[in-house]
Amino acid sequence: MAASMCDVFSSCVGVAGRARVAVEVRFVSSAKVTYCSTECLLAAAEQYHQVLCPGPSQDDPLHPLNKLQEAWRSVHYPPETASIMLMARMVATVKQAKDKDRWIRLFSQFCNKTANEEEEIVHKLLGDKFKGQLELLRRLFTEALYEEALSQWFTPDGFRSLFALVGTNGQGIGTSSLSQWVHACDALELKPQDREELDAFIDQLYKDIEAATGEFLNCEGSGLFVLQSCCNHSCVPNAETSFPENNFLLHVTALEDIKPGEEICISYLDCCQRERSRHSRHKILRENYLFVCSCPKCLAEADEPNMTSEEEDDEEDEEGEPEDAELGDEMTDV
């Protein structure tokens, strides 16, 4: 069963990142922003674009919004993880809305963290110099977008909270044409040798691209989804999130039968990470989401050694070394 979440927050924030093109015909606004359809263009104009449109100053490096984006690019890699522009759209949506309180209530539904947790999240997003970078971003953000109804977001503490909210709840939105092509290749009926050659080519292609662009290949933006953000994590999830329509509509699909009243859990880890040791999984979740998992899989593995998968591999290698050395001596003696 697939549950489309197009009726929630995807429609109010959408994708903040590179322009997406879902059809061959492109629809361009007066500000030279590319949209996938006339419907998307009109929705953006009605919701937030009037506030964010730089007009004739689009290429002016001194325009407040351009200064904000350039500052973000200078302090964060990769720039495609467009957290700062997602925050800008949140403010623009409130500024442009007739019913500002409605949008403020919607934003308040996303999970919040304590002050210490917020600082840890922002520190992770911005690196060792995060305090200076955060203040620079706050000043430029205020210059470009100040809104009295959201005045608390523009204070140092409020801006940190907003940043942490996006960092905690933001969902990467992948609309990669390459990913779609790979899925299409998977569906091809090929001879075993042809399949092996194609798989090897795809593996090498991903490695080459990752070497040039980093691991964020399929993430073209960032969005906030009210229902998805309410789903807790499990290392044995009963549902998964995806973007099967290759646009900003997030789908939650059941992986097994879910009984009435049973909690819907997704995994915050990718497939490879879920196969790692309990300690490795906990390390990733603590560093990125600030919690310790107590799902059925983690509880069942509670007696396992507190080692990461890498440490286990190292230990196995070390245990193997004496045998290899003895073998080498025996061969030398012979």
Is the pLDDT reported for residue 158 higher than 80? Answer: yes
- In the 8-state DSSP scheme, what is residue 79? T
Arithmetic mean of pLDDT, 52-56 = 86
* pLDDT value at 87 more than 70: yes
Q: Say if 307 falls within a structural domain.
A: no
pLDDT at 320 over 60: no
> Is 62 part of any domain?
yes
Q: What is the pLDDT of residue 192?
A: 93
pLDDT grade, residue 309 (50/70/90)?
A: low
Within-domain flag for 70: yes
91-114 pLDDT, tens digit per residue, is 999 999 999 999 998 888 886 777
* Mean pLDDT value of segment 158-177: 80
Quote the mean pLDDT of the chain: 77
pLDDT at site 66: 92
pLDDT of residue 217: 54
- Please determine, for residue 89, whether its predicted confidence score (pLDDT) is greater than 60: yes
Q: What is the DSSP secondary structure assignment for residue 231, as one 8-state letter?
A: P
SS3 308: coil
CA distance 83 to 126: 11
Our count of domains for the chain comes to 1
pLDDT of residue 5: 32
H helices within the chain, ranges in order? Answer: 10-13, 38-44, 50-52, 64-75, 83-96, 100-107, 115-126, 130-145, 156-169, 177-186, 192-213, 226-230, 271-274, 278-289, 296-300, 309-333
Kindly state whether residue 150 falls inside one of the protein's structural domains.
Answer: yes
Mean pLDDT of 229-246: 89
What's the domain range around 38? 2-172
Mean pLDDT of 301-322: 61
Instruction: Supply the pLDDT for residue 229.
Output: 86
Domain-located, residue 110? yes
**What pTM does this model have?**
0.67
| 75-84, 85-94, 222-231, 270-279: least confidently modelled range | 75-84
* pLDDT at residue 214 tops 90: no
CB atoms within 10 A of CB 19: 14
Confidence of residue 264 (pLDDT cuts 50, 70, 90): very high
Least confident of 56-70, 202-216, 288-302: 202-216
pLDDT at 292 over 60: yes
H or E element at residue 241:
strand 239-242
Task: Give the model's pLDDT for residue 9.
Answer: 39
- Say which residue, 21 or 51, is predicted with more confidence: 51
Q: Evaluate whether residue 199 is within a structural domain.
A: no
* Residue 73 domain flag: yes
Domain assignment present for 262 = no
Identity of the amino acid at 106: L
> Above pLDDT 90, what percent of the chain?
33
Write the CB contacts of 121 (distance below 8 Å, at least 6 apart in sequence): 113, 163, 164, 167, 168, 290
Examine the pLDDT at 30 and tell me if it is beyond 60: no
297-322: average pLDDT: 66
| Maximal C-alpha separation, the chain | 89
- 138-153 tens-digit pLDDT: 999 999 999 999 999 9
